[in-house]
Amino acid sequence: MTVPILIMRKGIWLLGLVVFLDMAGAEWHRYLVDNSSPATGTCVQVSNGIPYIAYYNDAGLNLARWNQTGWHIDTIDHRPSYHNRGPSLVFDRSGNPQIAFFCGTPWHAYLDSEAWFVEEIDTDSAGDYISLAIDARNRMQAAYNQGGGLAASWLKYAWRDSLGWHREVVDSSGGYDCVLRFDTAGVPCVGHCESWSNGALYYFRRTGNGWVKDTVLADYASQSSLVLDNQGDPHFSYYWTDGTNYDLRYCDRVGGAWRFDVVDHGLQLYKRGWDNCIARAGDGSYHISYHCHNEGQLRYAHGNYGGWQVTVVDSAVGLWDLFSSIALDNLDRPYVAYCNSNQNDALYLASLADLTGQEEKPAADGVRPMLAIGPNPCMGVLSLRLAGNSRRLARNAKLVMHDATGREVRRLDIEGAAEMHVDMRALPAGVYFIGLDAADLAARQRIVKLK
């Protein structure tokens, strides 16, 4: 369904198209990554088809990676700290993960011969917002915020060589939600916000004569994210609030001029666009994860200037602490990491890729449908009703439930019953599969547990 919307900005009407995507052919798979303690901040990347998530929790800085048996989690630095954004994860030319993170000051963690090492980037109290990037010569560079109180803040830039880290001030105002990228000439470029809540949006490019500043928006912007295209031109997602509109918006620079677009229009009671993060696909489309906190939704938008498709990924409760981040694999499938306050701030990953291979399979001929399941998705007690043929053929079989990793979580005796009830409340939210254990009836049906 395509919905045209008109938005007023400073006396100018902006036209936007929002397309709510029918996800019947593209189902989101949701995975519980870590619920050991509240997660606060995420950065997801995909390397060789494997998702990695850098995040903070009470244990400190962690890195989770997927393998066929589930999630493997390393705690890299055991010092927990308060922060407003996630760590920054990239991979170097050898395929090793590199992480910039905040622990009172900005730090760099790197993997060397299967062991993690950490080093301080700057001794000043800074790095609450931090972005790490690697140039063509495999050198680490970072942009980060240094705060000087509630109303004072500036943007800093650091680079690493054989002598260590070097630092300089880029802008005496801002540094919030800063993102560092390299253009096609290998020149560092930084996007950042003047304020953590409502202010100007800036774009900087480093030249031989210093940093060149471009004011993208003079006010009303916050929580921005940046990518560059194949020509080195910038593309932003950002949250816009002018007292009337509370939107997820997008802008890009074409021919030296900035143009602006509404991705998902929000109102005072339906704010949309918090915790946004943008990624660029190989086909030139843009993919954005973000939070609609009044509606309790994690959303995903993809498209280009003038036309966007929007879908709800998951129900997710929280304010500025959803910490969504997005990355694409080599097939341009999105992976979204986020924290859900409704689940004790547990860390989740949602993706259009099925990591487990645990797909639904049709039953043997003559026994479909095997089960009538309701309600599905569910939150509490699940009712299962076996079809007639299934009851007859499954007298000596059992119903087996697996989680998304393929691990068995329940085994139920059928004993000729036409209907049975399964209490799902003790199981974590996610995707499950249920079927008969008889080899000749090896069918699986999908169940979604919401919370």
pLDDT digits (tens, 9 = 90+) for 235-284: 999 999 999 999 999 999 999 999 999 999 999 999 999 999 999 999 99
User: What is the average per-residue pLDDT within 300-317?
Assistant: 93
109 by DSSP, 3-state: which? Answer: strand
Check residue 45 and give its pLDDT: 98
For the chain, where do the domains classified as CATH 2.60.40.10 start and end? 371-449
Mean pLDDT confidence for 415-437: 78
> Residue 220: how many CA atoms within 13 Å on its side-chain side?
13
Q: What is the pLDDT of residues 372-411, one digit of tens each?
A: 788 888 888 888 877 655 555 455 567 788 877 667 788 8
Question: Tokens for 84?
Answer: 């407003």
Q: Which two tokens stand for residue 412?
A: 């139920």
pLDDT at 21: 42
Q: Are 408 and 398 in contact (CB under 8 A)?
A: no
User: Where do you find CATH 2.120.10.10 in the chain?
Assistant: 2-351
104 pLDDT above the threshold of 80: yes
pLDDT band (50, 70, 90) for residue 320: low
Fold for 2-351, please state it. Neuraminidase (2.120.10)
Q: Is the pLDDT of residue 231 over 60?
A: yes
pLDDT range class, residue 429, cuts 50, 70, 90: confident
Q: Which of 318, 332, 243, 323 is nearest to 280 (CA)?
A: 332
* Mean pLDDT within 195-214: 94
Q: Exposed e or buried b for every residue in 44-82, given b needs 16+ CB within 10 A?
A: bbbbeeebbbbbbbebebbbbbbeeebbebeebbeeebe
Reported confidence tier of residue 12, pLDDT bands at 50, 70, 90: very low
Q: What percent of the chain has pLDDT over 90?
A: 62
Half-sphere exposure of 394 (CA within 13 A, CB side): 33
pLDDT of 245: 97
Per-residue confidence (pLDDT) for residue 9, from 0 to 100:
39
What topology is assigned to 371-449 in CATH? Immunoglobulin-like (2.60.40)
